[in-house]
Amino acid sequence: EIVMTQSPLSLPVTPGEPASISCRSSQSLLDSVDGNIYLDWYLQKPGQSPQLLIYALSYRASGVPDRFSGSGSGTDFTLKISRVEAEDVGVYYCMQRNEFPVTFGPGTRVDIK
Protein backbone atom coordinates (compact mmCIF):
# COMPACT_ATOMS: atom_id res chain seq x y z
CA GLU A 1 0.00 0.00 0.00
CA ILE A 2 1.04 3.62 -0.45
CA VAL A 3 2.46 5.10 2.73
CA MET A 4 1.72 8.74 3.42
CA THR A 5 3.90 10.90 5.65
CA GLN A 6 3.36 14.46 6.83
CA SER A 7 5.51 17.18 8.31
CA PRO A 8 5.48 18.77 10.69
CA LEU A 9 3.29 16.67 12.96
CA SER A 10 2.62 19.69 15.13
CA LEU A 11 2.38 23.27 13.93
CA PRO A 12 1.81 26.25 16.23
CA VAL A 13 0.54 29.16 14.19
CA THR A 14 -0.05 32.86 14.65
CA PRO A 15 -3.37 34.27 13.38
CA GLY A 16 -2.85 36.33 10.27
CA GLU A 17 0.37 34.56 9.40
CA PRO A 18 0.80 31.95 6.64
CA ALA A 19 1.18 28.25 7.36
CA SER A 20 2.27 25.28 5.32
CA ILE A 21 1.97 21.51 5.72
CA SER A 22 3.90 18.96 3.68
CA CYS A 23 2.74 15.53 2.66
CA ARG A 24 4.74 12.87 0.88
CA SER A 25 3.68 9.58 -0.68
CA SER A 26 5.79 6.45 -1.05
CA GLN A 27 4.75 6.20 -4.70
CA SER A 28 3.66 8.66 -7.32
CA LEU A 29 0.00 9.63 -7.15
CA LEU A 30 -0.12 10.65 -10.78
CA ASP A 31 -2.77 8.68 -12.59
CA SER A 32 -1.18 7.57 -15.85
CA VAL A 33 -4.55 7.35 -17.58
CA ASP A 34 -6.15 10.69 -16.86
CA GLY A 35 -3.20 12.72 -15.60
CA ASN A 36 -4.90 13.61 -12.33
CA ILE A 37 -3.26 13.47 -8.94
CA TYR A 38 -5.66 11.94 -6.43
CA LEU A 39 -4.43 13.61 -3.29
CA ASP A 40 -6.97 15.19 -0.93
CA TRP A 41 -6.69 17.26 2.23
CA TYR A 42 -9.04 17.04 5.21
CA LEU A 43 -9.35 19.06 8.38
CA GLN A 44 -10.70 17.47 11.52
CA LYS A 45 -11.73 20.15 13.96
CA PRO A 46 -11.92 19.18 17.63
CA GLY A 47 -14.84 16.86 18.29
CA GLN A 48 -15.94 16.79 14.66
CA SER A 49 -15.82 14.51 11.67
CA PRO A 50 -13.15 15.28 9.10
CA GLN A 51 -14.14 17.80 6.45
CA LEU A 52 -12.88 17.97 2.91
CA LEU A 53 -10.74 20.99 2.09
CA ILE A 54 -8.89 20.18 -1.13
CA TYR A 55 -9.43 17.36 -3.61
CA ALA A 56 -7.42 16.11 -6.56
CA LEU A 57 -4.34 18.06 -5.48
CA SER A 58 -5.59 21.61 -5.88
CA TYR A 59 -9.38 21.91 -6.13
CA ARG A 60 -11.06 23.58 -3.20
CA ALA A 61 -14.19 21.90 -1.96
CA SER A 62 -17.41 23.87 -1.96
CA GLY A 63 -17.48 26.47 0.78
CA VAL A 64 -13.77 26.26 1.59
CA PRO A 65 -12.18 29.72 1.94
CA ASP A 66 -9.69 30.70 -0.73
CA ARG A 67 -6.96 31.12 1.88
CA PHE A 68 -6.52 27.33 1.55
CA SER A 69 -4.59 26.05 -1.45
CA GLY A 70 -3.06 22.76 -2.48
CA SER A 71 -0.12 22.07 -4.74
CA GLY A 72 2.53 19.53 -5.57
CA SER A 73 3.42 16.83 -8.00
CA GLY A 74 4.29 13.16 -8.07
CA THR A 75 5.09 12.35 -4.48
CA ASP A 76 5.41 15.72 -2.74
CA PHE A 77 2.46 17.86 -1.82
CA THR A 78 1.76 21.01 0.14
CA LEU A 79 -1.25 22.55 1.80
CA LYS A 80 -0.93 26.27 2.35
CA ILE A 81 -3.00 28.62 4.43
CA SER A 82 -2.33 32.17 3.32
CA ARG A 83 -3.50 33.80 6.54
CA VAL A 84 -4.38 31.55 9.44
CA GLU A 85 -7.58 32.20 11.33
CA ALA A 86 -8.51 30.91 14.77
CA GLU A 87 -11.14 28.59 13.24
CA ASP A 88 -8.42 26.74 11.29
CA VAL A 89 -7.19 24.82 14.34
CA GLY A 90 -7.44 21.06 14.24
CA VAL A 91 -5.71 18.11 12.64
CA TYR A 92 -4.98 18.16 8.92
CA TYR A 93 -4.76 14.90 7.02
CA CYS A 94 -3.61 14.22 3.51
CA MET A 95 -5.15 11.20 1.82
CA GLN A 96 -4.33 9.36 -1.38
CA ARG A 97 -6.98 7.62 -3.43
CA ASN A 98 -4.90 6.94 -6.51
CA GLU A 99 -4.35 3.35 -5.51
CA PHE A 100 -6.26 0.84 -3.48
CA PRO A 101 -6.39 0.84 -0.49
CA VAL A 102 -6.99 4.48 0.29
CA THR A 103 -4.43 5.65 2.84
CA PHE A 104 -4.10 8.69 5.06
CA GLY A 105 -1.15 10.59 6.42
CA PRO A 106 -0.63 10.59 10.20
CA GLY A 107 -2.04 14.09 10.57
CA THR A 108 -0.63 17.51 11.43
CA ARG A 109 -2.01 19.17 14.52
CA VAL A 110 -2.39 22.93 14.05
CA ASP A 111 -3.00 25.12 17.05
CA ILE A 112 -2.67 28.77 17.92
CA LYS A 113 0.55 29.94 19.54
Partner 1 sequence: QVRLQESGPGLVKPSETLSLTCSVSGGTISSYSWTWIRQPAGKGLEWIGRIFASGSIEYNPSLRARVSMSLDKTKIQFSLRLTSVTAADSAVYYCARDTPYLLWGQGTRVTVSS
State the binding string over 52-91 for partner 1 (x if CB under 8 A, else -): x--xx----xx-----------------------------
Taking the least distance from each CB to partner 1, the nearer of 80 and 97 is 97
Q: Does residue number 46 form part of the binding site for partner 1 (CB under 8 A)?
A: no
Q: Which stretch binds partner 1 (CB under 8 A): 11-19, 22-30, 82-90, 103-111?
A: 103-111
User: Are residues 85 and 72 in contact, defined by beta-carbon separation less than 8 angstroms?
Assistant: no
Q: Which of 60, 82, 109, 79 is nearest to 15 (CA)?
A: 82
What is the layout of strands, in order, in the sheet containing 4-7?
4-7, 19-25, 76-81, 68-73
